[in-house]
Amino acid sequence: MKKKVLAILFAGIMMFSMTACASSTEENSTGSLQAEISESETQEQEGNSNILVAYFTYAENAELPEGIDASASASIQVWNGELTGNTGAVARMISEATGGDLFSIQTVEKYPDNYNDTIDQGQSERNEGARPELTTQIENLDNYDTIFLGYPNWWGDMPMAVYSFLDEYDLSGKTVVPFVTSGGSGFSQTISEIENAEPNATVEEGISLRDSDAVSAQEEIQTWLRELGYIQ
């Protein structure tokens, strides 16, 4: 019974966020929204910063049809001409503000291009405690002192691929700064999950953004980064 109520609540959140997000996308987009995911840019690790901005976002983990644009789904955004998702857009804002290198967490198996199927798959993976295999690798983890770690809230948790990421890398001695986008659930229990997975890392105060606000959150991001001392 409790599960059913939660499912209905979540369906409501999703419907609300999809409507809200579609309109914010239109407001924030100029000219043609069509863009290609650029492998070289999304996985850029130039090695001259001690900050890494690692993130998982649906749009960079799905087999999306050619020419898809930001009006297609609540989770597809275009930021500076690049096709990404809500979390990917926020990651780029953090990278632009701090000079941090971007790292897109990507899975070997792509998620369905149909968002509703992805919602179901995310639930099954969570129930199974899946650890999807990752295709992208951090080249020089030693170079980084601070890892911004971004993800969407999936079923009150992180996508299981983020657990794969935390299993793969030992972040001992590093500072982890989490950020989340969601339809309203925020971080849920994910901060404790990160602390459990990386007991020797320092986890700083993160930021939680509504999916419908993500692409227009630049000022909020900058204020937060200033408060944490990452920018002046």
Smaller CB separation from ligand FMN, 179 or 230:
179
**178 is a contact residue toward ligand FMN (CB under 6 A):** no
* Backbone angles phi and psi of 189, in degrees to 5: -100, 20
Among 144, 182, 187, 225, binds ligand FMN (CB under 6 A): 182
CA distance 102 to 162: 15
Residue 184 touches ligand FMN, criterion: CB under 6 A: yes
Rounded CA separation 111/61 (Å): 6
CB neighbour list of residue 230: distance below 8 Å, 6 or more residues apart: 51, 97, 98, 146
98 binds ligand FMN (CB under 6 A): no
Site for ligand FMN contains 152 (CB under 6 A): yes
* 85 near ligand FMN, rule: CB under 6 A: yes
Least distance between ligand FMN and beta carbon 8 (Å): 12
Q: Does 146 bind ligand FMN (CB under 6 A)?
A: no
Which token pair is 165? 């990421």
CA atoms 120, 126, 128, 131: torsion sign: positive
Under the binding rule (CB under 6 A), the answer on residue 154 touching ligand FMN is yes
Question: What Cα–Cα distance (Å) separates residue 174 from each residue in 25, 143, 162, 195?
Answer: 35, 10, 17, 12
The binder of ligand FMN chosen from 43, 87, 104, 190 (CB under 6 A): 87
Interacting positions 106-125 with ligand FMN (CB under 6 A): 118-119, 122
Distances (CA, A) of 159 to 13, 44, 130, 175, 186: 18, 22, 10, 21, 13
Q: Least distance in Å: CB of 173 to ligand FMN?
A: 28
55-84 binders of ligand FMN (CB under 6 A): 57-58, 74-75
Are residues 35 and 81 in contact, defined by beta-carbon separation less than 8 angstroms?
Answer: yes
Stretch that binds ligand FMN, among 44-52, 99-107, 147-155, 197-205 (CB under 6 A): 147-155
Q: Which residues bind ligand FMN (CB under 6 A)?
A: 10, 13, 17, 57-58, 74-75, 85-88, 118-119, 122, 152-156, 181-185, 211
